[in-house]
Amino acid sequence: MEADKEKLLQGSEFCFRSGRLYCESVNIKDLQATVEKLYKSPFYVYSKAQLQKNISDYCTALNQSGLEHKLYYSVKANRNLELLRIISSSGCGATTVSGFEMQIAMQAGFPPCNILYNGNGKTMEEIEYAIRQGCMLNIDSQFDAAHILEAAKKLHKTARVLLRLNPDIDPNVHPYITTGLRLSKFGIIDQHLPTVVELVQSSPCVEVIGLHCHLGSTIDDLGVITSMCTYLLQKTRELREKGFGSIRCINIGGGLSIDYKREGGAVPTPAKLIAEIQKKLKGEKVQIILEPGRSIIGSTAILVTKVLGVKSSPSKTFVVTDGSMTEVIRPSLYSAYHHVDLLDYTAVTGDEGDKTLLDIVRARQSQICLLYCISEYCVFFTQQA
């Protein structure tokens, strides 16, 4: 059993050694005892080494691809300041979805010129802040274009923008995290694109530097990325012919899935993703922008919780932990899978073949949130004495 556990997390900075879970060189059970003297349970544990490896995987593949490129981190995935400082020090840019995220990205060291302000509901105050600071913005709709033009004119500044397009491509993920279908709230559909183009062409205060698409999250079908690249390349050529010679970027978004189920090789790696992009865009006069979030930060963390007790009914057995939706919302929000395991198997007795299906439940809505935002990859809990 120990050998199987050690193989399960092979290649990760979270691994079992002699039946105990470690993060890098730290025994998590020992860490739990230390942390609970200062704080309360539950708490997150992050691996700096894993974070740096995840960034390096993208950078290495991009550098080997021969594509002109820029790697941006999607701040909404986790905006913890210390983590952002590590990411900014690696040379990444930042994609943000609010004025607060722009502020914290700059506080973490991201240069404003490498910050992109995205979203379909930007306020005028946030738009003006982005333009004043020199951040890029995505135009998501007709009214969004009008607001950005108005703000740029008021400030007497040129806004650098990307047009976020809606390609109507199904990424085959949960509807709640699908963003590139015609029924999605994000992006400019083809029917409205001529109106937006006419608006921005009429203003000297806007420079269209690129196009952008984002299809959704937990993507494991690289074929949809290939289709999106084809779509973006076609639109780039069409708009350049209409006089948009300043278009030099294609932002392919993020959304790559991670190995939640510990199946090893079942989820595409950054290298495979970039290899597919290279097939479509190599030789084209464009800079590729990728903005991953989950696949940068997701595997860097665990949530450590404690079992408060076990209760049974005729049809179910509930293991009640001190975690809650505050710490891990995705399973309840859209039935997402999260791996659950023990921190320490050394005291486990009994026949390994005897298995019982359990419901892992949370005790309450926690009043404690140690970090700005959660990074869910797996949940580990300890047996209560």
pLDDT values of the chain reduced to their tens digit, one per residue, 385 residues: 455 555 555 568 999 998 899 999 999 999 999 988 888 888 999 999 999 999 999 999 999 999 999 999 999 999 999 999 999 999 999 999 999 999 999 999 999 999 999 988 999 999 999 999 999 999 999 999 999 999 999 999 999 999 999 887 877 787 777 777 777 888 899 999 999 999 999 899 999 999 999 888 888 888 899 999 999 999 999 999 999 999 999 999 998 988 887 766 678 899 999 999 999 998 899 999 999 999 999 999 999 998 889 998 888 888 888 887 778 888 888 788 888 888 988 877 666 666 778 787 776 544 333 333 333 344 444 443 3
- The secondary structure of 282-331 as a DSSP string is TTSS-EEEE--SHHHHGGGEEEEEEEEEEEE-SS-EEEEES--TTT--HH
Cα angle 17, 4, 304; round to 5 = 55
Tokens of 149: 């033009």
Matching residue, tokens 């009640």: 320
pLDDT of residue 152: 97
pLDDT of residue 40: 80
Question: Do the Cβ atoms of 97 and 75 come closer than 8 Å?
Answer: yes
CA distance 357 to 183: 38
Tokens of 84: 């952002």
In the chain, which ranges are E strands?
14-17, 20-23, 26-27, 43-46, 69-74, 93-96, 115-117, 136-139, 159-164, 206-212, 249-251, 287-290, 301-312, 317-321, 339-342, 359-362, 378-382
Residue span(s) of the chain under CATH 3.20.20.10 come to: 48-297
| Dihedral angle sign, alpha carbons of residues 275, 281, 285, 288 | negative
Backbone angles phi, psi at 293, to 5 degrees: -130, -70
pLDDT of residue 238: 94
pLDDT of residue 350: 64
CA distance 380 to 277: 36
- CATH for 48-297 is 3.20.20.10
Backbone angles phi, psi at 327, to 5 degrees: -90, -40
b/e 175-214 (16+ beta carbons within 10 angstroms → b): eebbbbbeebebbbeeeebeebbebbeebebbbbbbbbbb
pLDDT of residue 137: 97
**Chain length of the chain:** 385
Question: Do the Cβ atoms of 17 and 6 come closer than 8 Å?
Answer: yes
CA distance 187 to 211: 11
pLDDT of residue 369: 35
Question: Do the Cβ atoms of 128 and 205 come closer than 8 Å?
Answer: no
Q: In the sheet that 14-17 helps form, which strands lie side by side, from edge to edge?
A: 14-17, 20-23, 26-27
